[in-house]
Amino acid sequence: MRAGVALLGLLLVGPLQAQRAGDILIASGPDLIRVAPTGALLTIYAGSPATTIVDVEPAFGGQGWVVAQHAGYWSDILHVVGGVATTVQRVGTIAPIELMPRADGTIDYARIGPGACHTLCEQPWPSGNPRIIAPLCHFQHLVPFALAEDPRNGDRLVADFLGSDTLLYRVSRAATVTTMTVPLALPLLTLRAGLHVDPSDGQMVLVGGDRFATFGPAGPTRTGPLPMQGSVPATAIDADPFAGAFVVAQYDTLYRFSVATGQAQTIHKHGGWIEAVHVVGSRAFDALSAPRAGTAYRVGLTMLGEGGRPYIAAASLAMRPAIVAQNRRIPLRADGLLAYSLTPNPVFVGFTGWLDPTGHSMLTVNLPVGAAGLRVFLAAITIGSGRVRSITEAFGFTVE
C-alpha cells in the first residue's frame, strides 16, 4: 500500500489532457436504460407499461437504484437491484414525486400533499413509515419540479414554478423554511426540470423549459437559453464529474452542456421522452454517524466491482482544481490536508487498505475538538497493475 500512496503522490501534477465520462442512466417510459459512452444501450429494469419512471437515484452503498414510478393517483418508491424491483413505499399523489437519497440513510421526497400543498417528506431506508419534514404551501404549480440537497450544510432545496419567476424553498435540518425568487420564467406546462448544487461553493444550476439559471446563496447571477432544441422543454439535469459539465435531457435527446461556455454537445438521441437522467459515478460514501467535533466520524466506502483490490482514500478542503492522475480527474484539490491524509496519522484511519470481496471498507475520521464549521471532501481510488483503476465522486461533510 505504501507503493500505492507513492504512486498517487507522483501523479498530482500535469495538465488535464483527457477526461473520462461515466455511463449515463436514463428513465424513458417504464424503463431504466444505461447509455454507455460508446452509445451502446442496456435496459437494466423494465417496468409495467402502465407506469412511468419519473426519477432515479443511486441507492446507498451502490446497491442498485432508488426509483420513483408514477401511475395515475400514486407513485411507488422502488429499490431496483439486478433488474428486480422491491416496493419501499407507495405514495398517494396525483402528480409525480421527486426523490433525493441522503447520506444519513433516508430518502427525501417532494409530493403534492393535502390541500394541494407541496410537502417535503422523509422515508426511512429500506423500510418504515414516512414523516413530513415541512409543508411548502406557496402552491402555484402542479408539481414541485426539482429537488436537491445543499451538500455544504444538508439543507433541502425545492424549486416551484411561479409563472414569471421560480421560487426556491430552502429547508434546513431543523425544518426551518426560507424562500428566494429566481428570475427564471418557464412555460406554463413545465412539469419537469432539474436542479444541481455544487458541493464546493453552493453555486446552483437550474434547468427548465428551454432556459437555465445559475445562482449562488446570495442571489441570482445569470440566466440564459439552453442552446438545444428551441422551445422543447428540458426535463432533467445531472452533473458529470468526469467531464466538468452537465448532462441535460431535453425531450428525447441527451446533451453535455457547459454553463461556462453556453455550448452543448449531443450525447445520445433516444426513441422516446427522457424523464430522468443520472451520470453513473459512484455513491461510494455513506455517513454512518454524525460529523461532530471531538468524535469519531464513521464513513462506509463502497466501490462495486473492485472487491479485493487496494484502495487509497484522501481528504481535501476543496474539489477544485482537480488532481490529474494518468489523464484522469480525481475531484480533490492538492492542498495541505490532502498531503496529511495520505500519510500515517491519527485523524484519517482506514484510508489505505484492501476492499473486502464485495468492494466495501470502513473509514474513520477522528474529528479534532475545535473543528466545527470546517468543510471537508473525501474521494478514493483503486489501484491495479500500477495504474489508477476506479475513481469515486467527491463526498463532502461539514463538521458540526
Q: Across-strand partners of 65?
A: 58, 80
Averaged pLDDT, 225-244: 69
Which of 35-39, 49-53, 258-262 ranks highest by mean pLDDT?
Answer: 49-53
Q: Which residue has the higher pLDDT, 79 or 18?
A: 79
Q: Which residue has the higher pLDDT, 43 or 7?
A: 43
Averaged pLDDT, 52-70: 79
Residue 168 host element (H or E) = strand 166-171
Averaged pLDDT, 127-139: 77
Which of 75-89, 316-330, 383-397 ranks highest by mean pLDDT?
Answer: 75-89
Examine residue 321 and say whether the peptide bond preceding it is cis (omega within 30 degrees of 0): yes
Phi, psi at 340, each rounded to 5°:
-65, -40
Contacts of 372 (CB under 8 A, 6+ apart): 293, 399, 400
Whether residue 106 has pLDDT greater than 70? yes
Distance CA 52, CA 28 (A): 7
Whether residue 81 has pLDDT greater than 90? no
pLDDT in tens, 338-384: 999 999 999 999 999 999 887 889 999 999 999 998 889 899 999 98
Whether residue 399 has pLDDT greater than 80? yes
pLDDT bin (cut points 50, 70, 90) of residue 236 is confident
Whether residue 202 has pLDDT greater than 60? yes
> Following CA atoms 288, 290, 294, 295 in sequence, which dihedral angle do they give, to the nearest 10 degrees?
-30
For the chain, the average pLDDT equals 79
**Angle in degrees, CA 267, 268, 271, rounded to 5:** 165
The per-residue pLDDT for 22 is 60
Report in angstroms the alpha-carbon separations of 125 from 90, 147, 151, 232: 14, 19, 20, 36
Whether residue 312 has pLDDT greater than 90? yes
Averaged pLDDT, 197-210: 74
Share of the chain above pLDDT 70, in %: 80
The per-residue pLDDT for 24 is 86
Distance CA 189, CA 227 (A): 20
Which residue from 9, 51, 10, 45 is spatially nearest to 26, judged by alpha carbons? Answer: 45
Averaged pLDDT, 16-21: 28
The per-residue pLDDT for 19 is 24
The per-residue pLDDT for 331 is 81
Q: Across-strand partners of 86?
A: 79
Distance CA 270, CA 223 (A): 28
Least confident of 176-180, 220-224, 255-259, 311-315: 220-224
pLDDT bin (cut points 50, 70, 90) of residue 83 is confident
Whether residue 99 has pLDDT greater than 70? yes
Q: Which residue has the higher pLDDT, 163 or 334?
A: 334
The per-residue pLDDT for 151 is 67
Phi, psi at 132, each rounded to 5°:
-80, 125
Least confident of 5-14, 164-173, 267-276, 278-287: 5-14
Domains of the chain (ranges; CATH) run 2-14+283-398 (2.60.40.10), 24-279 (2.120.10.30)
Distance CA 303, CA 307 (A): 7
The per-residue pLDDT for 180 is 84
User: For the chain, give me the number of helices (H) and strands (E)?
Assistant: 2, 35
Whether residue 313 has pLDDT greater than 60? yes
Distance CA 249, CA 266 (A): 10
The per-residue pLDDT for 13 is 36
pTM, full prediction: 0.66
